[in-house]
Amino acid sequence: MKLARLGDGAEIFFTLQGEGVGVGAPAVFVRLSLCNLHCVWCDTDHTWNFQGTPWAHEKDSVPGYRKHRKDDVIIEKSAEQVAEIVRGFGCRRVVLTGGEPLLHEAELLVLMKLLRDDGKDWFFEMETNGSRMPNEETLAAIDQFNVSAKLRNSGVAETLRRKPEVLRGLAASGNAWFKFVVQVEEDISEILDLVEVTGLPMNRLILMPEGRTVEELDRIAGWLAGRCRDLGVRFSDRLHVRLWGDKRGV
């Protein structure tokens, strides 16, 4: 499978979950490369913003930023190799993230089977963008889907990112949470419209401020927390940004 490269190896690391309903939980992250969406504020742009691609990113205006050379940011490993790395951390909560992990669905099913064959109590989270429906085997294998459905603020065309039938299917699984990245008040209206169209349960919604620095988060977090309270939905901060900043491998 194609994983994000970090240094000389794969971007597989032991940390605390920084977002969503499991925030603060120790977990091993396995970051897959490649994505079918290309959000302008994405903080893992090394998984898709490759040389020769046409997509824009807000870092384009940062001096020295360039699209990534694939060989510099992708590493290939077998499910067996990934399983061995994951076992080494001694933590049985695993977050499959990306990029878009469902682009590697068959290989991830092999990985989860290998780990569960150890006879230990593994817990698998999958972070997905809500534009692809997992197959039945994946729905059964994943303990928790962290669905980050994209809004207009992502810069992604609506035809690519807005998939009501997928969101309904994930909601029906009973183990999905739906997290939305919020920048401005208008984003709340868009979320509520999507809830009306899809029937997403309000008690499974999580709203999170967009930002890669504490200052950016703080500009949104205060008013967004109040809106979450009034709407009766969960608020999520970005714990890893507050603890370690905009870094990879944390």
User: Is 72 annotated as a binding-site member?
Assistant: no
Question: Do the annotations mark residue 88 as ligand-binding?
Answer: no
Does the annotation flag 34 for ligand binding? no
Residue 182: helix, strand or coil by DSSP? strand
Is 43 annotated as ligand-binding?
yes
Q: Is 81 annotated as a binding residue?
A: no
**112 contacts 126 by C-beta, under 8 angstroms:** no
Ligand-binding annotation for 179, yes or no, is: no
Strands (E) located in the chain: 2-6, 9-10, 12-16, 26-31, 74-76, 93-97, 123-128, 144-147, 176-182, 205-209, 234-235
Is 149 annotated as a binding-site member?
Answer: yes
Contact 198, 167 (CB under 8 A): yes
DSSP symbols for 48-102: T-BTT-----GGGGSTT--PBPHHHHEEE--HHHHHHHHHTTT--EEEEESS-GG
18 among annotated binding-site residues: yes
Ligand-binding annotation for 42, yes or no, is yes
Q: Is 48 annotated as a binding residue?
A: no
The answer to whether the CB of 224 falls within 8 A of the CB of 1 is no
39 labelled ligand-binding: yes
| Angle, vertex CA 100, rays to CA 98 and CA 104, nearest 5 | 100
Question: Would strands 2-6 and 74-76 be described as parallel, antiparallel, or unpaired?
Answer: antiparallel
Residue 148 marked in a binding site: yes
16 carries a ligand binding annotation:
yes
99, 47 contact by CB (below 8 A): yes
Q: Is 225 assigned to a binding site?
A: no
- Find out whether 163 is annotated in a ligand binding site: no
Question: Binding site membership: which residues?
Answer: 16-18, 31, 35, 39, 41-44, 97, 99, 148-150
Residues at the binding site for Mg(2+) are 44
Annotated binding site for [4Fe-4S] cluster: 35, 39, 42
Residues at the binding site for S-adenosyl-L-methionine are 41-43, 99, 148-150
Residues placed in the known binding site for substrate: 16-18, 31, 97
